[in-house]
A and B are shown apart, each in its own frame.
Chain A
Amino acid sequence: MLFLLQEGPAETLDFMIAGYVVIFSVMLIYLVSLIVRRRNLQRDLEILKEIEAQESADAPEGSDRLNTAATGLIGQQD
């Protein structure tokens, strides 16, 4: 509270810098987490599609039904 007695603004530049470092760091971390999670999910999706395609090839009698269901599932738009 001593700053109230001094002339001119208090020397608080370090705290301002610290504040903005926190703001931009948290926002950046969140942004990176979104990118990483999206990349991982896309990789998972590719693997699952491959597994499904293999299963369809191994079981030809059920393939029509499976393919129809998979197309409907994968074809959903955001």
Chain B
Amino acid sequence: MESKPRLLSILDVVTALMLLAATALVFFYAPVEAVMGQVQKVFYFHVASGWVGMLSFMTAAAAGIIYLMRGSSNWDIVGVAAVEIGIAFSFINIVTGSIWARPIWNTWWTWDPRLTTATIMLLIYLAYLMLRSGIEDPNRRARFGAVYAIVGFVSVPLTFFSARLFRTIHPVVIGSNQPGAEGSFDMTPLMLQVFLFSLLTFTVVYADLLWHRIRLGKLAEKVEQLKLKTMS
């Protein structure tokens, strides 16, 4: 059994402490927004989750490109690990957005451009995992995964810019806001501090989870190879 790298153990502790600190900052340091009240505090982790989701899908696309260039299965493992984490955090992003929308937009869901593109992005990557699981040959599976992750990445900038390009009720907190947006607010310096710390924390959480997931992928590859060898 392989031992856990010391650096990963340190990263685990740092991640847990940062997540604890970010949560405490959200609940006890960030001010309550004047109009929306407490629900606005969902914003800090809602945006951070969306950021991790998009960062994950970008990692998967980059891993796909490197896989196609070098052909090393390690990059396929990185790609699938990134997609899996991206799905989890994009799901958090969409569900928390829906919870935030209920008291502010007076609906759980609306087919707004941002919400629609985010949902399509999530479905594209869910399909990635489902389609991969149907391919037996590891090389073919990895090649398919690489191409899919690169092509699927088109949905990421489309989702990111949808609130800026199309008429939408989804607010754009950073940068210019849409006139029709509902639920927007001006970030105070305290809010900005908590927001930036949350983004940093979730980036560290992502790095930690990715490392663990890559280790799991390598173990799975080892077991798969040994299974094939034992059966032959």
Contacts and interface: CB of A to CB of B under 8 A. Distances in A.
Contacts of A73: 222, 225-226, 229
B1 A42 contact: yes
Contact of B226 (A1, A38, A52): A52
A63 to B, nearest CB: 14
Given A9-B37, A20-B42, A51 B91 contact: no
Interface in B123-160: none
B170 to A, nearest CB: 16
Contacts of B35: 3-4, 9-10
B229 A70 contact: yes
B100 A15 contact: yes
Contacts of A48: 223, 226-227, 230
Given A22-B96, A69-B229, A12 B103 contact: yes
A77 B2 contact: yes
Given A3-B35, A10-B35, A15 B230 contact: no
Q: How large is the interface on A (under 10, 10 to 19, 20 to 34, 35 or more residues)?
A: 35 or more
Contacts of B85: 30
A16 B85 CA distance: 23
B225 A41 contact: no
Contacts of A15: 38-39, 42, 99-100, 102-103
10 pairs of A and B residues whose beta carbons are closest in the complex: A9-B37, A12-B39, A19-B42, A16-B38, A15-B39, A12-B37, A10-B37, A48-B226, A13-B38, A19-B99
Given A3-B35, A48-B226, 14 more contacts: A10-B35, A15-B42, A16-B40, A20-B45, A22-B96, A23-B45, A26-B95, A37-B216, A38-B216, A55-B230, A70-B226, A73-B225, A78-B2, A78-B214
11 contacts: A13-B37, A19-B41, A19-B46, A27-B92, A30-B209, A44-B227, A51-B230, A73-B226, A73-B229, A74-B222, A77-B2
